[in-house]
Amino acid sequence: MSDRIEDGIAPTGITSTLAGEAQLEAPMRAAVQPVILAGGSGTRLWPLSREKHPKQLLNLVADDTLLEATAMRLEGVAARTGRPAALDAAPIVVCGEEHRFMVSDMLKRQGKRARVVSEPCGRNTAPALTVAALHALMAAGDHGDHGDHSDAVLVATPADHCVTDTEAFRNAIANAVRHAEAGAIVTLGARPTAPETGFGYIHAGAAVSPDAFLIDGFVEKPHLELAQHYVASGEYWWNCGIFVVRASVWLKAVSQLQPQMYLQCRAACEQATEGGAAQGGVYQLHREAFEACPSDSIDYAVMEKLDALPGIPGVLVPLDAGWSDVGSWAAIWDIATKDDAGNAGRGRVLFDGATSCLAHSEGRLIACVGVQDVVVVETADAVLVVDKRHVQDVKNVVQRLRTQHGAEIVNHRKVRRPWGCYDSIDHGDRFQVKRIVVDPGASLSLQMHYHRAEHWVVVRGTARVTCGDTVSLLSENQSTYIPIGTLHRLENPGKTPLEIIEVQSGAYLEEDDIVRFEDNYGRK
C-alpha cells in the first residue's frame, strides 16, 4: 500500500488546501477519475429488475443500459475542466460479485475502458467509494504517477440514474471539480419539481460562488407536508447521490469519521486479487476483510457528520440536466416519450382509449384498452399491473415473493453467465428443459451433479464434450448423455455461438447441484 494513504493522512500538497475556505482555487493538475457505483439490486422496478439482473443492467429508457449510458456521459469530463486528455481516466466500476462478468462484458462490447472492482457482498455506497478511492491511489502508484497527478478527483455517480442533458451534466461536474480541487466534498442537487417523499433533500446554505453553496444539512425522505414546505422554500434540493472529491480528502474523512470502515476497506484492497483475461481482469476484494466492513451510505457515514471535520467543507452544486433516479415505474413514465394521450410503450404494445399509461413488453403483446394511469410490465415469467399512484408498493410484492422463496425475484428466465447464457424454457416434476448458448471460445466449468442426469442435443455450432474420460466433438443434430455423478464439461471450440438443448431429469434440479472442479472464471 502506498504511503500516500498511510493512516488516512492526506498528501502534504493537499493538507494546506484542506485548511482553507471552500472557494479557494487550486491549480487543476489532478486527474479526473470517474467512479461508477453499480452495486445494489432494486425492488421497485420488478419484474424487470431482479436480484441477479438489477436495473443498472437494463435498457429501461433507451437502447443502451443505464450503466452504459452512465459511462458514456462521464467521457470527456476531464477535458471539460481544461485538463489534457491524458488526465481523463478510465472509470472505476464498483459492482457486486454476481454482476462482475455482465458489467465487464457490457462495457467491453461498447468499447469502453474500465477497471471493475468486485464486492463479495453488499456494504452500501460509503465502502464502495472508499475502495474506489484506495484503488485509484494504488493504481496511480502502480503506473509510476507522483505528486498531485496521482491524487485524482473522484467523480462518483450511481450507475442506475438517467440524465437527459449530457452537456449540462458535464458542465455541472466541471464546476464541482473546481471546488473539489480546493478540498471540498461536493454533492450535486437537482431543483425539486414536486414534493417527492421518496427522495433525500439537501438544505443549501451560504453561497461560495455564483453557482455553488455550502451544505447546511441533509433530510432523508420527509413526509408529504415537510416535502411541500421544502419545495415552496426554494432552499432545498433533491439529493442526486453524485459526489465529487479528491481521493485523499475522502480517505481522510472516512478514516476519521468511520475508522473501522476505512481499515476494513484498506485490508480488502491490500489483499485483493486480479482475475485474468477469462475473468475480465476484474479486481476481487478480499472476502473476509470486506464482510467485516460496516455497511453505510455516503450521506450517513460522512456527509451528515462533516461538521466534526473542520477544514473539509461540504459544497452543493446545482444540477439542471433532466436528472432522474429511475426509482419507480412512474419515474420511467415521467421521462419516456409519450403519445398524444400521455401513453408510453416499449416493445409489442397497443393503446386503444387508454390515457397516461405505461406498458413495457419483453415479448408478448400488451393491449391497454380504456384504462387510465396504469402500468403494465410483461416478462417471460411474470406480469405486473399497478396503478401509477401505487408504484412504490411494488416492493411489497417483492417482499412477499421473498418469503415464499419465489424464483421470480432472483433471476429472469433467461440467465447470463460468463460463458454465455441459458433459458429455462420448460420444467415440471423431475424434468427441466434449457436452451444453452455458449460464446465462441468459451467453456462451462468441469463439473458434476449428484441428483440429475442430462441429455444434450446440438442445434447450432460445434460442441467439445468431456464426459468422464472421453472427449468428443458433436456437430448439429448430434446428441450425448451425461449420467448422474459423471465429471463433464461443455466447450465451444468454434468461432460462432454454440446452441444446445439440454434436458435434465432427476429428483433435484436446482442450480446449487453443481460441484465445480475447474473453472476459467474463478467461481467456486
Rg of the chain, C-alpha, whole Å: 25
Confirm whether 230 is domain-assigned.
Answer: no
- CA pair distance 127, 136, nearest whole angstrom: 14
Same domain, 36 and 152: yes
Same domain, 72 and 172: yes
Same domain, 393 and 418: no
Question: Which positions ≥6 away from 123 have C-beta within 8 Å?
Answer: 290, 293, 294, 295, 296
Strand order in the sheet with 488-491: 470-474, 463-467, 488-491, 446-448, 515-518
* C-alpha dist (Å) from residue 67 to 45, 80, 90, 157, 283: 16, 21, 14, 10, 18
Confirm whether 428 is domain-assigned.
Answer: yes
**Count of structural domains, the chain:** 3
Residue that is last in its domain, among 382, 403, 424: 403
- CA pair distance 321, 69, nearest whole angstrom: 14
Confirm whether 312 is domain-assigned.
Answer: yes
Same domain, 389 and 479: no
Same domain, 364 and 449: no
Cis peptide before 47 (omega within 30 of 0): yes
Same domain, 449 and 363: no
- CA pair distance 301, 312, nearest whole angstrom: 15
CATH number at residue 50: 3.90.550.10
Residue that is last in its domain, among 327, 351, 371: 327
Residue that is last in its domain, among 327, 344, 365: 327
Amino acid identity of residue 248, one-letter, is: S
Same domain, 153 and 48: yes
Confirm whether 477 is domain-assigned.
Answer: yes
Same domain, 175 and 96: yes
Please report, in tens digits, the pLDDT of each residue of the chain (524 residues total): 444 334 433 332 323 232 333 333 444 467 899 999 998 776 889 999 998 899 999 998 888 999 999 999 998 787 787 776 555 678 999 999 989 989 988 888 878 788 999 999 999 999 999 999 999 988 765 444 444 446 899 999 999 999 999 999 999 999 999 999 999 999 999 999 888 888 889 999 999 998 999 999 988 888 888 889 989 998 899 999 999 999 999 999 999 999 999 999 999 999 999 875 555 578 999 999 999 999 999 999 999 999 888 889 999 999 999 999 998 999 999 999 999 999 999 999 999 999 999 999 999 999 999 999 999 999 999 999 999 999 989 999 999 999 998 989 988 999 999 999 999 999 999 999 999 999 999 999 999 999 999 999 999 999 999 999 999 999 999 999 999 999 999 999 999 999 999 999 999 999 889 999 999 887 76
Q: Distance from CA of residue 329 to its chain's centroid?
A: 18
Confirm whether 127 is domain-assigned.
Answer: yes
Strand order in the sheet with 414-417: 414-417, 420-428, 431-438, 498-506, 452-460, 479-482
Confirm whether 219 is domain-assigned.
Answer: no
Same domain, 375 and 472: no
- CA pair distance 328, 12, nearest whole angstrom: 45
CATH number at residue 506: 2.60.120.10
Same domain, 102 and 69: yes
Confirm whether 451 is domain-assigned.
Answer: yes
Q: Distance from CA of residue 52 to its chain's centroid?
A: 11
Confirm whether 373 is domain-assigned.
Answer: yes
Q: What 3-state DSSP class applies to 66? A: helix
Residue 74, CB half-sphere, CA atoms under 13 Å: how many?
32
Q: Domain range holding 344?
A: 336-403
Same domain, 171 and 257: yes
User: Do β-strands 212-219 and 201-209 pair in parallel, antiparallel, or remain unpaired?
Assistant: antiparallel
Same domain, 458 and 491: yes
